[in-house]
Structure 1
Amino acid sequence: MFTGIVQGQARVINVAQRPGLSTFILAFPEDRVDGVEIGASVALNGTCLTVTRQEGKTLYFDAMQETLSLTTLGDLKTGDHVNFERAARIGDEIGGHLLSGHVHTTAEVTAIETPENNRTLYFRVPRDWMKYIFAKGYIAVNGASLTIGSVTEDTFNVHLIPETLRVTTFGGLAVGDRVNVEIDSQTQTIVDTLARMGYDRPVNG
């Protein structure tokens, strides 16, 4: 499990592609790899992957074709940066909300506003997923637990403070970029339960 509190950025050193499998080689901040072992879980842009090899502050991860097709990891190239979070341990503070590291869908950046001392990002999501997205609810974007701002038929926005921009890759996003989205599990459970009882939420609502 993860908490949605991004611990920093890792840099892609190389992507080794083979049929049906890609190996991502990333350099992490030196103080963030203490205690990492083969088999450890790390969320990269919100996608839970397993450490397969370690060389100092460099970690290796394998991603199958299914993962590449459902997330933005297949778009990564040498020099890119990703948000990372190591798996939560018992007793860790949950500063965001509980995440599984299983990406539900991707979203496209449609607009960016930069008022003084913050930034507002707008995302377009496949409409089938909008029924789980509510103003002031939780959502994870590239592994970061965020509070949803406003919602339309197929978009939502989030407001980011300078600290979030400093720690994450959000400051480098541009219109047209894709991001990974994990829906809040509690919200999904409630919406699906109500739907089974006949209280469907209209997708355009």
Structure 2
Amino acid sequence: MFTGIVQATCKVEKIIEKAGLKTFEVALGTELLQGLKHGASVANNGVCLTVTELRDNIAIFDVMEETLKLTNLGNVKQGDLVNIERSLTYGSEIGGHVLSGHVHTQATVKTISHTAEHYNILLEVDEKWLDYIFYKGFIGINGCSLTVGEIEGNCFWIHLIPETLSITNLSDLQQSSLVNIEIDSQTQVIVDTVAKIMARKFAD
């Protein structure tokens, strides 16, 4: 489990293509490496990956073909920065909201509005996911716990503060960039439960 509070952006030093997967070698700082062990879970752009090897300041992850297809890790290149968060430990402060590291879909950057007063991004998602996206609700974007802004059709705004921009890779986004989306699990359960109850009611 994760909190959606990104701890650092880390450089992908090397990507090795293998049959059915890619191996990512990611340079983690000393603080992130402290106590990290083989088999630990680490979120990369919001995707829960397992540490398969540790070497000096490098953590190595195998990314399966299905994950590459469903998330923006398939577009990551050597030298890119990925948002990193280590898994939640018992007793840790949850500053964001609980994330599983299982990406539901991707969203496309439609517009970036950057002025001296604000930094806003308009994201477009497949219409079927809008049932779970609410104004002022929680959402995970590239592993960042964020609050949903205004909704326009099948698009929604996010409003970023300087701190978020400084410690994540969201400041690197451009028009047409793809971001990983994790829907808030509690919202999904509530919406799906209500839909089932209503479907049964009208079926009677």
**TM-score normalised by structure 2 residue count:** 0.95
Measured in 1, the distance between the counterparts of 2:102 and 2:119 equals: 26
> 1:162-181 maps to which residues of 2 (within 5 A)?
162-181=162-181
Measured in 2, the distance between the counterparts of 1:115 and 1:194 equals: 40
> 1:40-51 maps to which residues of 2 (within 5 A)?
40-51=40-51
Determine what percentage of the aligned residue pairs are the same residue: 49
Does the 8 Å contact 1:22/1:63 carry over to 2? yes
Counterpart secondary structure, 2:198? coil
Equivalent position of 1:144 in the other structure = 144
Does the 8 Å contact 1:108/1:177 carry over to 2? yes
**TM-score normalised by structure 1 residue count:** 0.95
Equivalent position of 1:84 in the other structure = 84
Equivalent position of 1:130 in the other structure = 130
Q: Deviations over 1:117-142 (max 9, x none)?
A: 53101100011111100000000000
- How far 1:68 moved relative to its partner? 0.9
What stretches of structure 2 of length at least 5 have no aligned partner?
200-204
Amino acid at match of 1:42: V
Could you say what the CA RMSD is over the residues aligned between the two structures, in angstroms?
Answer: 1.0
- Whose helix proportion is higher, 1 or 2? 2
- How far 1:197 moved relative to its partner? 1.5
What stretches of structure 1 of length at least 5 have no aligned partner?
200-205
Equivalent position of 1:34 in the other structure = 34
Q: How many residues align?
A: 199
Amino acid at match of 1:19: A
Does the 8 Å contact 1:39/1:52 carry over to 2? yes
Does the 8 Å contact 1:117/1:161 carry over to 2? no
Equivalent position of 1:202 in the other structure = none
Amino acid at match of 1:18: K
Q: Tell me: CA distance 1:178–1:190, structure 2 relative to 1, closer, same or farther (3 Å).
A: same
